Structure 1
Amino acid sequence: MNNFEWTQLVNPEFYITFTIGGIQLGLYIVLFIVFAETGLFAGFFLPGDSLLFLAGIYSRDLIQNIVYIESDFINLVLLSSLVALSGVFGNMVGYWFGAKSGYYLYNREDTLLFKKKYLLQSKEFFEKHGGKAIIYARFLPIVRTFAPIVAGIGSMNRQRFMFYNIVSSILWSFVLIFSGHYLYGMFLEMGIDLKEHIEKIVIGIILVSTLPVFLKLIKKKVIHHDHHDQNG
């Protein structure tokens, strides 16, 4: 902590390996970040996908602080289940917040932690994909934060929402955590330690996860430009 730099706050490895007084708090921080990113609209800037991928790499370190399990597979199942549960509760809070706040958010002024354009983009995404948007949104930064809020504002059926909420949380956590763990082992056998390339991994995951959003924006601009030319 003596060598703390503000840039560490955007580095998922900082949260996973966070220690105070010799006590490893990584697991609790990971669970809180997953909850905050999916349950609190201010959590859209938190490192979700890359955090879970790295959690898979550090799975044994994270779990052994609450219980020692020899089996790697059981370790991963336990970690993924805890993360999925945190994601379920996060989305429930987001849904509740959306249902209670109503259209207040649409009339709210932009702040440092709240941008109305993100809410509108999520609403458009939700209208296009329906309930499945909850599943798709889990794998898209920013959208996953606002999707449950939009579902609450739109008064989506609670049972239907919970179904997609649980399915999306399980898929998101298990896919990313298992991928991180087994890809780490695969590369290690080839003599490559992914822990030495964390920054490249984080950048790669951010690019891959945000690519659909950028492609959508480009497509929208092209269509708008063509429509403008036709009218012109």
Structure 2
Amino acid sequence: MHLYDSAVETLVGQIKALIDKRNLGVGDPLPSERELGEMFSSSRTTVREAMRILKAYGVVDVRPKVGAVIIDRRMDAVFELYSFNTLELSRQTFLDTQGFRQLIEVGAVDQLFERATSEDIVELRTINDAMREEDQLHVAAQHDFRFHSKLVGILGNKQVNEIYRIMKPVMLKIMESGVNRMKTHGVSFDEHGGIADALESRNRFAFQYRMSQHLEAGLALFKE
């Protein structure tokens, strides 16, 4: 690591510590670049690079006539990085992604049964109908994602919603592959319908079985 890189990383850590020490929140201003340089004995170039990194992290924003202020776009910053993920859709990517989704969509059955309303069921069925009627693969996959996003949205957990938003690019790749294989046979539509039926009737066994089968269905698309 170059000395300059080390100095920038050190300063980033110092500014984060300053934010914690002063208990700064969203909208609060940071000291000016000159003040930060004097405070931490850093060059103007080092301070500017540290601020650039903090901005990329979604922690600060530099505004005209105001300077640097605290923001909270950390999840957006991660999403932007993930959106450019060119990772090949491999069997392992499929297993990791669907395994995580099983933990949420199958594991949260009790919370779903407790929170789901009749309006939620109607919306799930409406999304599923739109997917069945759609001829364009990428649009059908979008409806597929909407179905599952709506399902986890019933949980009312903002962090889970954000994680699904971040995972959307990879999930859409999986869904496009799945919809392409299943749509001819109407399998995807029927599976979603069965999931909605089980949720409406609060049938734990049927819900967990149908959801697990649905999430595992595309595995045959990937070689060992």
Fold agreement, TM-score > 0.5: no
**Structure 1 or 2: more helix by fraction:** 1
- RCO (CA 8 Å, sep 6+): is it higher in 1 or 2? 1
Determine which structure has more spread, i.e. the larger CA radius of gyration.
2
What is the TM-score of this pair, normalised by structure 2? 0.32
What is the TM-score of this pair, normalised by structure 1? 0.31
